Amino acid sequence: MSTPVAPEWSLELAEIRARREVAYALGGPEAVEKHHAQGKLTARERIGHLLDGESFEEFGILAGAVKYTAEGKIASATPSTAVVGVGKIEQRRTVVAADDFTIRGGSSEAAVAEKWIYADRYAWEYKLPIIRMIDSAGGSVKLLDKLGHTKIPGYALLPITNLLGAVPVVGIAHGACAGLGALRVAASHLSIMVRGQSQVFAAGPPVVKQAFGVDIDKNDLGGYDQVHRHSGMINLAANSDAEALDLAKRFLSFLPGNVWEQPPRAASTDSPGRRDAWLNDAIPHDRRKIFNPHKILKSLVDKDSLFEMSPDFGASTITAFARLDGYPVGIICNNPRVGGGALTRAAALKQTRFIDLCDTFHLPIIYLVDQPGVMTGQEAEMQGTLIAAMQAVHAIEQASVPVITIVLRRCVGLAGAMVSPWHGPTGTALPHRFAWPSAQWGSIPIEGGVAAAYKQEIAAAEDPLARRKELEAHYQALASPLRTAERFGVIDIIEPDSTRPLLCNWVGDAYRITALSLGPKRRTMR
């Protein structure tokens, strides 16, 4: 009986399989167990949670640090701390890149930087969304031993800015992210942190201690609740790795795969003709009383479709994605519950970035207005609120997606002027504006305007209070929205409960016109 002949490449194939098993083991059982004990998913578990079934195609699984014997045999092999590749999320191809903290704390020193550069470049070249899961201790001075020299900072082949103008980018901070790790979180359309687990900063506590002599906790330096809910750098916070990954998936569901495609329409069981009668009384007749804008928003859009961006930053303005008859849209809505809805510096920056995001990916914009104007006062002036407001004006004027405005209550001053931008699908002014019966607009608020213009007359009156009230009543009558409608300053003054049918009819027109102007914009994200 003849002896079976082994396949010619059996040894080589066995070696490759062995190397793959090393990569699958990450930092080893003890390191993985320690990672799990902190409530964290591993890099490969995060990818598995994101992607459909077995759709992950990994790039560079053999990359890493390998030591050889004098005979050329492998003495030891440590996988790269970067796990990258492409897979499917709800059947849509998506690039993923996850840091493996179980190996040397995810240090970029051990990452083989070419891997995550390649992931970004693959997303750019093949016009696919990318999700970065960052869990990295950042760079290390020990890298100098490896290189034998210092290097000028930067990665010339990394298409950070180009990506933002071409495909959806998500950055998730799963742990402490410093330096380049922080940049990879921030250079995104959606940035997410995990509360109590992740921190994002330019440099960590040891560097701060060395530079300023200050001892500071990493959460006080870069935690979400302590820092980034106020900084505006991070859009959303999650309570676990899994929740953060689910937020990323939901965000991508509103966007196209790239700027050459339209956002995907979803099946909807919510009738476009639905009218909620309570909307007719949603705005109190007493102007001193506020209302709940979130309740109104949820009533107008498809059921359970509202997805708010940056809820804690610039909270006087609400920015959110939603669907109307299944079509994704962007919504800007003033929030009278926070600072009366006034446009603060933070709110202006938030609004600017959101408009750029919607415009980049061809989402029509709905603007629900209760805008008392730009925030005033010394602090607001010192913050540069007006220049931030002008950035928001530039953003809406440079946007080319259709915009529809519904004035719910107040529409005053420079901030109110944003509802009448020089914009539209053809780049011409088409102020597609409607109003509720509760609407009121003007260059300045009636009360403040009367107090300023008639200061001396009111002071000299026999009854100053009565004279002021008389003047206010006179101008309030002139400020009736009906007078503006008579001059076609608004398209119509509508019953509030007819707003959803109106929006659902409009969104179909909006998508027909955006289909004619797909592709990149002249600018990326501001």
Whether residues 143 and 194 share a domain: the answer is yes
Per the CB < 8 A criterion, the answer to whether 92 and 123 are in contact is no
- The helix or strand, by DSSP H or E, that contains position 491, with its residue range, turns out to be none
What is the pLDDT at residue 149? 61
- The helix or strand, by DSSP H or E, that contains position 369, with its residue range, turns out to be strand 365-371
Per the CB < 8 A criterion, the answer to whether 112 and 63 are in contact is yes
Name the one residue in this structure whose structure tokens are 């699984």.
61
Q: Is residue 5 one of the residues assigned to a domain? A: no
- Per the DSSP assignment, residues forming a β-bridge with 192 are 172, 236
Whether residues 409 and 454 share a domain: the answer is no
Whether residues 356 and 400 share a domain: the answer is yes
Helix (H, G, I), strand (E, B), or coil: what is residue 119? helix
What is the pLDDT at residue 73? 78
What is the pLDDT at residue 157? 72
d(CA 65, CA 390) in angstroms, rounded, equals 51
Per the CB < 8 A criterion, the answer to whether 297 and 279 are in contact is no
d(CA 427, CA 412) in angstroms, rounded, equals 24
Per the CB < 8 A criterion, the answer to whether 322 and 297 are in contact is yes
Answer positive or negative: Cα dihedral of 212, 215, 220, 221. Answer: positive
Per residue of the chain (526 residues), what is the pLDDT tens digit? Answer: 566 656 788 888 888 898 899 899 998 899 999 999 999 999 999 999 999 999 999 999 998 887 888 877 777 778 888 999 999 999 999 999 999 988 877 665 555 678 889 999 999 999 999 999 999 866 555 555 665 666 666 666 788 899 999 999 999 999 999 888 899 999 999 999 999 999 999 988 989 999 999 999 999 999 999 999 999 999 999 999 999 999 999 999 999 999 999 999 999 999 999 999 999 999 999 888 999 999 999 999 999 999 999 999 999 999 999 999 999 999 999 999 999 999 999 999 999 999 999 999 999 999 999 999 899 999 999 999 999 999 998 898 888 899 999 999 998 887 887 776 555 555 555 678 999 999 988 766 677 777 888 888 888 888 888 888 888 888 777 667 888 888 888 899 999 999 999 999 999 999 999 999 899 998 777 7
User: How close are the terminal C-alpha atoms of the chain, in Å?
Assistant: 75
Type of residue found at 370 = D
CA angle 461, 464, 468 (to 5 degrees): 110
Q: Is residue 186 one of the residues assigned to a domain? A: yes
Whether residues 299 and 403 share a domain: the answer is yes
- Per the DSSP assignment, residues forming a β-bridge with 64 are 79
What is the pLDDT at residue 478? 67
d(CA 396, CA 359) in angstroms, rounded, equals 9
Tokens for 379, please give them. Answer: 């602090």
Whether residues 371 and 453 share a domain: the answer is no
Name the one residue in this structure whose structure tokens are 């901070």.
173
What does the DSSP assignment read for 347-367?
HHHHHHHHHHHHHHTT--EEE
CA distances 448 to 65, 400, 438, 478, Å, are 69, 35, 19, 16
Whether residues 339 and 299 share a domain: the answer is yes
d(CA 8, CA 4) in angstroms, rounded, equals 12
Give the helix ranges, DSSP H, for 254-307.
Answer: 293-300
Whether residues 430 and 450 share a domain: the answer is no
Whether residues 311 and 408 share a domain: the answer is yes
Q: Is residue 173 one of the residues assigned to a domain? A: yes
d(CA 216, CA 150) in angstroms, rounded, equals 29
Per the CB < 8 A criterion, the answer to whether 351 and 332 are in contact is yes
345-360 and 385-398 helices cross at what angle (nearest 10)? 20
Rg (C-alpha) for the chain, rounded Å, is 28
Q: 487-520 burial by CB neighbour count: b if 16+ within 10 A, else e?
A: eeebeebbebbbbbbbbbebbeebbebbeeeeee
Last residue of a domain, one of 253, 287, 314: 253
Q: Is residue 485 one of the residues assigned to a domain? A: no
What's the number of domains the chain is made of?
3
Last residue of a domain, one of 238, 253, 268: 253
Whether residues 301 and 229 share a domain: the answer is no
Work out the number of other CB atoms within 10 angstroms of the CB of residue 121. Answer: 17
Q: Is residue 525 one of the residues assigned to a domain? A: no
Per the CB < 8 A criterion, the answer to whether 361 and 263 are in contact is yes
What is the pLDDT at residue 154? 67
Tokens for 505, please give them. Answer: 């009819």
What is the pLDDT at residue 146? 60
d(CA 385, CA 411) in angstroms, rounded, equals 18
Q: Is residue 127 one of the residues assigned to a domain? A: yes
Q: For the chain, how many residues are written? A: 526
Whether residues 422 and 365 share a domain: the answer is yes
d(CA 253, CA 268) in angstroms, rounded, equals 14
CATH of the domain at 202: 3.90.226.10
d(CA 478, CA 392) in angstroms, rounded, equals 29
Tokens for 340, please give them. Answer: 């009366």
Q: Is residue 7 one of the residues assigned to a domain? A: no
331: containing domain: 277-439+490-514
Whether residues 474 and 508 share a domain: the answer is no
What is the pLDDT at residue 469? 84
Whether residues 200 and 127 share a domain: the answer is yes
Q: Is residue 526 one of the residues assigned to a domain? A: no
Neighbour-count burial of 106, counting CB atoms closer than 10 A to its CB (0-12 exposed, 13-18 middle, 19+ buried): buried
CA distances 346 to 158, 173, 222, 391, Å, are 29, 22, 18, 12
Helix (H, G, I), strand (E, B), or coil: what is residue 340? helix
Query: In sequence order, what E strands does 188-296 have?
Result: 190-194, 199-201, 236-238
Supply the pTM of this predicted model.
Answer: 0.90
